[in-house]
Amino acid sequence: MISRSLARLALSVGLLARAVVAAQANPGWDPEGKFTGGAPMSGSGSAGNWNFMGGGGSSPVPKATVNFSGNQAPGTIIINTGERRLYYVLGNGQAIRYGIGVGRIGFTWAGVKTVSAKKEWPSWTPPAQMLRRRPDLPRFMKGGVDNPLGASAMYLGSTLYRIHGSNEPETIGQAVSSGCFRMTNDDVTDLYSRVRVGTKVIVLR
């Protein structure tokens, strides 16, 4: 009985030691393997290859390839705010449909923009208009899984609006933002890998 207890204790100590070594080799992780800050998830460094362990979750609106009628060129993004869906046009009558979170009442908009920049794990600086409404917000937040812009962001023209990831997957399909379009980290990573700077974005109410 004593020898079994000692064996279990030795095994536990060994596992803990291995976890500590892993944590030291990967700053931002604690011995239990939970992300606590620091560098983003382990991966190749490309948004298309990150292995998400949290902070993004699966979307309550699963991504799907659907039939799509229209004359928009392949590669065009169409955002249907009322439907709370984003379509990436593939051509040949098909598109990839993603669930998104959209602007709440008073913050919806429509128009045609282009993707002017792309950033992985972007930092966040709340605009002055938002700080006036929410003076409790931080003035700056570095990129990472706790950042509200998530794994990546695609900036729309010269506006303050973006298509970006989110650390709140439960808000997908809802009207909760200040005008940006949020996706789960998994979905925005997939879209990011397809989109180029200059991509046309049509926003419909």
Active site residues per annotation = 164, 180
Q: Are 174 and 48 in contact (CB under 8 A)?
A: no
Residue length of the chain: 205
- Specify the pairing of strand 64-67 against strand 94-99: antiparallel
Q: What is the DSSP string of 137-160?
A: S-S-B-SSTTSTTTTEEEEETTSS
Give SS3 for 9: helix
Rg (CA), the chain: 21
Where in the chain does DSSP place strands (E)? 64-67, 77-80, 85-91, 94-99, 102-103, 111-120, 152-156, 162-164, 175-177, 181-182, 200-204
Where in 49-126 does DSSP place strands (E)? 64-67, 77-80, 85-91, 94-99, 102-103, 111-120
